[in-house]
Amino acid sequence: MQDKGNVDLQDQRRRWRYRGFAIAVGCLMFLLGMSAVAGWLLQITVIISLVPGFPSMAFNTALCFVLSGVGLATSTLAARRFRVAATIMAGSAAAIAAARLVEIATVGRTFHNVDLLITRFVIPPDFIAQVGGGMGPNTALVFLIANLSLLLSLHAVRKSQVVQELTSYVVITLGMIALASYVTDAEQGYRWGPYAAMAVHTALGTVIFGSGLLARSWWLQPANRAQIPLWIPAAVCFTGLLVDLYTPLGVANGILYVPLVLTALWFGNRNAPLFFAFACTVLLMLGFFAVKHDEAAFWQEIANRTITAATLWLIAILVFYFMRNNHNLETERVRFGALVRGTPDAVIVIDESGTIRSFNPAAESMFGYSPQETIGRNIKMLMPEPYHSEHDGYLAHYRRTGEERIIGKTRMVSGRRNSGIVFPIDVSISAVATGGTKIFVGIVRDISERARQEERIKTTLAQLEAYTAELERSNHDLDEFAYIASHDLKEPLRGLHNHSRFLLEDYEDKLDVDGVRRLNRLVRLSQRMEKLVNDLLYFSRLGRQQLAVKRTDISLIVKDVVATMELLLEERHAKVIIDGQLPDVVCDAPRLTEVFRNLITNAIKYNDKSAPLVSIGYLDRFVGEDGTVARNVFFVRDNGKGIPQEFHEDIFRIFKRLEKSQDSDDGTGAGLTFVRKIIARHNGDIWLESEVGAGTTFYFTLGKKREGQNAAA
């Protein structure tokens, strides 16, 4: 961010310089024009001609300088009124110049109606006749194209800066041609044909005008513009033209124009070499037509100038592509620099001797060093032992053998902060060849938090292993306890049962009715107690025994259960039907048999109808009364008493019975508890829907719970 701020500040300063130069040029042109206007009004010839016998600056030329200068200066101001003023001034100057060019093209050299249109109202006719002259075609061309480019940039943004920049080169070239022609006394340079000539101060003003337009175009697009003063290529151009006029064969000037094209290397604008080549070509052509030629060397000079122009354009194209490639490389360098500065990982670049060459902000934050403290020093300053001592040896081994031990790999090592703290890091190193040398780019990531998390995970895993071992030991102890407890409980229970039976068999005739009843009751309670102990032992083992799963036909299981219950069904006049097709599922068949046996038995036992009916079926998709959804659902439905809503959970508690059945002595109230446990072992769920007086339906899944529900284990 700091680098970007510096770049923006420098760019802003350049913009102000270009803008200030353009305003200064506009003011200078205004003063030049007003001076010439004053010379006309006061009839001072020296101001108009500067040197006796030299062409004078026409009154309309002076007026165009005033208008163009005001237009150039106000075009750099942001307010709308200034833009309107610039448009009016530049448009007026362009109109005067265009009218003069039309007059020259249609009427000829002897008419100066455009010049006389204004001057005759303010200047005495005899002074006009004494001074003579008028606006020359080269002067009119300069004001026309320069002001048109200014108007274009004011009202058409796209590509207008490029057009104005090219126009400025042409304007500067035309002015330099005229000045050089005065120096070499080559009249063809400042006087085109038999028409009025460009005055000395007009030529100087033209060069200044072109420079102001060029500065304004750079102000509009200031980024990466000229990095050398404009007067350097201008001086080369002027010198080349002078030599060209003195050496008509065009050999020496070609040598001088080559440096002019090469100066484009110091300009940020990639089109600069093409612009300079264009300007040099114009200079070559005008230098050729500015002097008289010997007929014997005429074609030789044409060939020389053609070869010179082709060479200049070839060099310009090569420079153009060189600058374009450099621009692309610079763009990639800036993009890579921004990426390196913005990445959260430390990026450190070292050379083959281990000296740090680059140190990004993330590396500063990670190691606590500033770039000034690290760049130029050995990378091992960031390493603790043993890496600190071994690093130079590794680099020496790599330079000697080329063996890559860590290059291209990611390794976990240790780093050392400025404070001396050692911390774990991940390092990935890659080698980059640059010419005949290599640099090494290291991407470093602080993994202190990851190391702490791994340590916590190891601790948690160790605790889980300890908990698992403790749980296994506890389960083993529970199995032993259940076995011992059941064995120890069963022995006195059998004693109570047997002694009660012996008393009934031996002393039934000696006991009264109440004594016999109590002994019979004692027999039944001991039998029930034994069943409770057996069920408790079975329940304790049910959750820990492995399931023997295999693909099973549920229809066969149901039919087998119904077959074993044939006597009960006949006694209760009950009927069990299969509603639809039951699928094959992967399950523990004996356990699932127990599920269906318990559900069917309860549906018959707790049924107040004269003809109990139990239907068993399967649903692909089930939507409950509470909106829950399930798939692949089995159901067992009866037409019995129904179960009130408040007891839907109580019935699954072990030894919990809502009421006694007609065969209550045969059950302990643990059947539905076993059912839920077995289904939970199959990763399923069981629930019911019931209507009091109409019956109950038990639903269960195998291998998939209801959406949004959890089965109790």
Q: Which two tokens stand for residue 10?
A: 């420098």
Q: How many CB atoms lie within 10 A of CB 233?
A: 25
| Alpha-carbon gap, residue 263 to 281, rounded angstroms | 16
Helix (H) or strand (E) holding 699: strand 695-701
pLDDT beneath 50: ranges in the chain: 1-7, 224-228, 246-252, 661-665, 706-713
Q: How many CB atoms lie within 10 A of CB 439?
A: 15
Q: What is the pLDDT of residue 502?
A: 78
| Alpha-carbon gap, residue 197 to 331, rounded angstroms | 49
CA 350 distance to own-chain centroid: 28
Q: How many CB atoms lie within 10 A of CB 423?
A: 15
**Could you give the residue ranges of the DSSP H alpha helices within 221-271?**
231-246, 252-262
Nearest to 619 by CA among 701, 552, 547, 542: 701
Residues in contact with 313: Cβ distance below 8 Å, sequence separation at least 6, in sequence order: 277, 281
Nearest to 70 by CA among 170, 212, 184: 212
Q: How many CB atoms lie within 10 A of CB 105?
A: 9
Report which DSSP code applies to 663: T
> 97 vs 128, 137, 143, CA distance in Å?
20, 9, 6
375 in Cβ contact with 348 (< 8 Å)? no
| Alpha-carbon gap, residue 328 to 147, rounded angstroms | 34
Angle between helices 2-42 and 59-74 (to 10 degrees): 160
Q: How many CB atoms lie within 10 A of CB 41?
A: 12
Nearest to 690 by CA among 625, 630, 614: 625
490: Cα within 13 Å, side-chain hemisphere: 14
Report helix, strand or coil for 545: coil
Nearest to 87 by CA among 95, 75, 98: 75
| Alpha-carbon gap, residue 267 to 263, rounded angstroms | 7
Phi, psi (rounded to 5 degrees) for 248: -60, -25
Nearest to 594 by CA among 679, 531, 510, 706: 679
Strand partners, 120: none
SS (H, E, C) 87-134: HHHHHHHHHHHHHHHHHHHHCCCCCCHHHHHHHHHHCCHHHHHHHCCC
Q: Angle at Cα 158 formed by Cα 156 and Cα 161, nearest 5°?
A: 85
Global pTM exceeds 0.85: no
686 in Cβ contact with 679 (< 8 Å)? yes
| Alpha-carbon gap, residue 649 to 575, rounded angstroms | 27
Q: What is the pLDDT of residue 205?
A: 92
What type of residue sits at position 131? V
Burial class (CB in 10 A: 0-12, 13-18, 19+), 227: exposed
Q: Angle at Cα 61 formed by Cα 55 and Cα 67, nearest 5°?
A: 155
What type of residue sits at position 214? L
What would you measure as the largest C-alpha separation in the chain, in angstroms? 175
Residues in contact with 203: Cβ distance below 8 Å, sequence separation at least 6, in sequence order: 175, 176, 178, 179, 182, 190
561 in Cβ contact with 600 (< 8 Å)? yes
> 86 vs 81, 150, 210, 309, 578, CA distance in Å?
9, 9, 17, 38, 99
Q: Which two tokens stand for residue 229?
A: 């003063």
Report which DSSP code applies to 565: T
Q: What is the pLDDT of residue 7?
A: 47
What type of residue sits at position 143? F
Nearest to 22 by CA among 285, 209, 238, 183: 209
Residue showing tokens 């124009």: 257
| Alpha-carbon gap, residue 213 to 149, rounded angstroms | 9
90 in Cβ contact with 44 (< 8 Å)? no
| Alpha-carbon gap, residue 332 to 398, rounded angstroms | 30
